[in-house]
Amino acid sequence: MDDTPLLVQPDPADPRLTRRVTGMDQSGQPVESSVTVERPLTLYLNGQEIVTMMTILDRPEDLALGYLLNQGMLPSADGVTGIDYDEDLGVVVVRTRERTDFEQKLKKKTLTSGCAQGTAFGDLMEGFAQVRLNPEAVIRTSWLYRLLHRINTLPSLYLEAGAIHGCALCEGDRPLVYMEDVGRHNAVDKIAGWMARNGVRGDDKIFYTTGRLTSEMVIKTVRMGIPILVSRSGFTAWGVDLAREANLTLIGRCKGKRFLALAGEGRIVFDADLSYVPEESAKHWRKNSREAEAADAG
């Protein structure tokens, strides 16, 4: 198993991200547990306040840029001249060379399926039909099972405290970047922002998420130019329809040996010997089954 360090991954030991609290368990005994810390982050585009997000606040610059790109409020990162974060104020400001059309975007809001009832601005489908995903990209099932094992056993805030979602940007059988946040779309946006800030293209990548494969998750993956989307959770009908329209490979319910592909199946190369693939073990990453079930549903 490749244990090459990831380019980016959470630090469960960071005292800013979790807090120890005392309570009582099911038998009435006192216990101490780690809980995830969420904080508000207010995003400005030039001089205009856009949104206040609840986040673990570990990568505010990536989150801010990724949010604006995935909402279609910036056509690309090319016109961005600076991203300024003030930790004391909990404010991040994205500055651009030219005036943007965010005023019109703010007039049109869509309530999304994101955790804590996310709101998307502008037209969710803007530019969607024009994206052409790489038809030559493939995902081998041997890669998929190695990815799942590596991601599930990474040191993470999920293992430390739960109540959090994770997303990974992968290449072949290796995860490159792993991001976590209290909302799954925050984790997606952080990866999108990191890609834009580092000039990383998506046409040869695989995207993994712990969240549901909803319409918004599909739209964001397509916007990022990534041809393959994988999740341990399930699908929505519109998410499947949009994935088929965009020729996005959509693979869900990935647990142990099992998975289900409902779009873009032609990119899958079935090369794994299932007799050597272990079933998912709870001790690998389900530290608390109740918190895990809540995260899968959130």
Region for 76 from its dihedrals, namely left if φ exceeds 0, alpha if ψ lies in -120 to 50, beta otherwise = beta
Mean pLDDT of 253-282: 90
Percent share of the chain, pLDDT over 90: 69
pLDDT at 235 over 50: yes
pLDDT in tens, 197-214: 999 999 999 999 999 999
Residue 24 lies in a domain: no
Beta strands in 114-233 (DSSP E): 119-121, 139-140, 165-171, 174-181, 206-209, 228-231
- Beta strands 165-171; 174-181: pairing state: antiparallel
Residue 59 lies in a domain: no
pLDDT at 223 over 50: yes
In which element (H, E) is residue 47 found? Answer: none
Residue 189 lies in a domain: yes
Question: Residue 208 in contact with residue 170, Cβ under 8 Å?
Answer: yes
Better-predicted residue by pLDDT, 162 or 172: 172
How many structural domains comprise the chain?
Answer: 1
Distant-in-sequence contacts of 160-163, Cβ < 8 A, 24+ apart: 160/12, 160/18, 160/34, 160/287, 161/12, 161/18, 161/33, 161/34, 161/35, 161/36, 162/36, 162/287, 162/288, 162/291, 162/292, 162/294, 162/295, 163/35, 163/36, 163/291, 163/294, 163/295
What is residue 285's predicted lDDT score, i.e. its pLDDT? 41
* Cβ-proximal residues to 130 (8 Å cutoff; 6+ apart), any chain: none
Better-predicted residue by pLDDT, 115 or 232: 232
CA 269/CA 90 separation, integer angstroms = 46
Q: What are phi and psi of 2, to 5 degrees?
A: -70, 120
What is residue 72's predicted lDDT score, i.e. its pLDDT? 86
The model carries a pTM of 0.87
Residue 179 lies in a domain: yes
pLDDT in tens, 270-282: 999 998 888 875 5
Question: Residue 228 in contact with residue 251, Cβ under 8 Å?
Answer: yes
Residue 281 lies in a domain: yes
Residue 177 lies in a domain: yes
Average pLDDT value over all residues in the chain: 87
DSSP, res 275: G
Residue 224 lies in a domain: yes
pLDDT in tens, 57-95: 999 999 999 999 998 888 889 999 999 999 999 999 999
What is residue 2's predicted lDDT score, i.e. its pLDDT? 62
Residue 18 lies in a domain: no
CA atoms within 13 A on the CB side of 61: 14
Domain around 215: 139-297
What is residue 295's predicted lDDT score, i.e. its pLDDT? 43
Q: Which CATH number do you get for residue 259?
A: 3.40.140.10
